[in-house]
Structure 1
Amino acid sequence: MNLSKSLTNAMRYISEAAIRIFSPSDDQYPSTGVQPFEGTPSKSSKSGQ
């Protein structure tokens, strides 16, 4: 019985993960789309130029 319960729990764990991976995303992004950058640009260049 313990082996049966362990297998059942393992299958439930794997199936819930698969459902989460392949389900539509539930992100709550604003309906206006991408927001513009409103910060201060860096004065130093990190690209080495």
Structure 2
Amino acid sequence: MQIAHRNIGPDRPPLVIAKTGINHGDDLDVARHMVPRAARAVTNNTQSKLSDLA
């Protein structure tokens, strides 16, 4: 199986996704700071949710 350009399977390293959810309190600046920190924590991807940007 492949996600984007990464092979996924039992003989491959795990795919780690850091899910921030709404831990940033809908503050876009906080969310932007969370992504590089998640990357330094050896994650492969991050997922976040903002409920209202208006």
TM-score by length of 1: 0.30
Q: Which has the higher contact order (CA 8 A, sep 6+)?
A: 2
Of structures 1 and 2, the larger Rg is shown by 1
TM-score by length of 2: 0.28
Q: Comparing both structures, which one devotes a greater share of its residues to helix?
A: 1
